[in-house]
A and B are shown apart, each in its own frame.
Chain A
Amino acid sequence: MGSTTMLIGTWIAGFLTLAIFSFLYKDNPVYKLAEHIYVGVSAGYWLIYVAFFDVYPMLIQGFQDETGLEKWILLVPGALGLIMLSRWFPRTAWLSRWPIAFTVGVGAGLGITANIQGYVMPQLQATLLPVTGWNIVSLNNVILTVGVITTILYFYFSKPHKGALGWMARVGIVFIMVSFGASFGYTLMARISLLIGRLYFLLSDLLHVID
Chain B
Amino acid sequence: MAEGGRRGFWEVMNNIDRRIIFLILAVCVTIPLIVSTGGEIKPTAPVIRAHASVESLSPGDYMMISIDFDATSAPELMPMLRAVLRQAFEKDVKIIMLGHIAIGLPLGHMALEQVAAEYDKEYGVDYVDLGYRPGYIAVMIAMGREIEDIFASDYQGTPLREMPVTADIHSYDDIDLLFGFEHGAVIDYWVRYTQARFDQRMTFGTTAVMAPDAYPYLQSGQIEGLVGGLKGAAEYETLIGQPGLGTRGMPAQQWAHLLVIGFIVLGNLGYYFTRKRGRGAA
- Chain A residues with CB under 8 Å of chain B are 24-25, 42, 45-46, 49-50, 53-54, 57-58, 107, 110, 114-115, 117-119, 122-123, 125-126, 144, 179, 182-183, 186-190, 192-200, 203, 209-210
Contacts and interface: CB of A to CB of B under 8 A. Distances in A.
Contact of A189 (B33, B73, B229): B229
Given A107-B137, A179-B212, A198-B75, A192 B192 contact: no
Interface in B11-56: 19, 22, 25-26, 29-30, 33-34
A193 B33 CA distance: 12
B64 interface: no
A193 B76 contact: yes
Contacts of A198: 75
A186 B209 contact: yes
A190 B34 contact: no
User: B141, B192, B219 — which one has the most chain A CB atoms within 10 A of its CB?
Assistant: B192
Contacts of B192: 114-115, 117-119
A122 B245 contact: no
Nearest to B252: A196
Contacts of B229: 186, 189-190, 193
A183 B229 CA distance: 12
A31 B104 CA distance: 23
Contacts of B155: 53
Contact of A110 (B193, B228, B231, B249): B193
Contacts, number: 140
Given A53-B132, A200-B249, A210-B34, A190 B208 contact: yes
Q: Which 9 A-B pairs have the closest CB atoms?
A: A197-B75, A118-B196, A118-B192, A126-B220, A190-B208, A49-B102, A193-B230, A114-B192, A196-B249
User: What band does the interface of chain B fall in when counting residues whose beta carbon is under 8 Å from A?
Assistant: 35 or more
Contacts of A196: 29, 33, 75, 230, 249, 252-253, 256
Interface of B: 19, 22, 25-26, 29-30, 33-34, 72-76, 102-103, 105, 131-134, 137, 141, 152-153, 155, 157, 188, 191-193, 195-197, 207-209, 211-212, 216, 219-222, 228-231, 245, 248-249, 252-253, 256-257, 260
B47 to A, nearest CB: 14
Nearest to B213: A183
Nearest to A198: B75
Contacts of A114: 137, 192-193, 196-197
A197 to B, nearest CB: 2
A188 to B, nearest CB: 6
Given A118-B193, A186-B212, A110 B141 contact: yes
A179 B73 CA distance: 23
Given A50-B102, A192-B260, A210-B34, 9 more contacts: A53-B102, A118-B196, A118-B197, A126-B219, A188-B257, A195-B256, A197-B74, A199-B252, A203-B33
A203 B30 contact: yes
Given A182-B212, A190-B209, A118 B132 contact: no
Contact of B30 (A42, A189, A199): A199
A115 B207 CA distance: 23
B206 to A, nearest CB: 10
28 contacts: A24-B19, A25-B19, A46-B103, A50-B134, A53-B155, A54-B132, A54-B133, A114-B197, A118-B195, A122-B196, A122-B220, A126-B216, A179-B212, A186-B208, A186-B228, A189-B253, A190-B76, A190-B207, A192-B252, A192-B253, A192-B260, A193-B249, A194-B73, A195-B29, A196-B253, A197-B76, A199-B29, A200-B248
A189 B196 contact: no
Given A189-B230, A200-B249, A194 B193 contact: no
B180 to A, nearest CB: 15
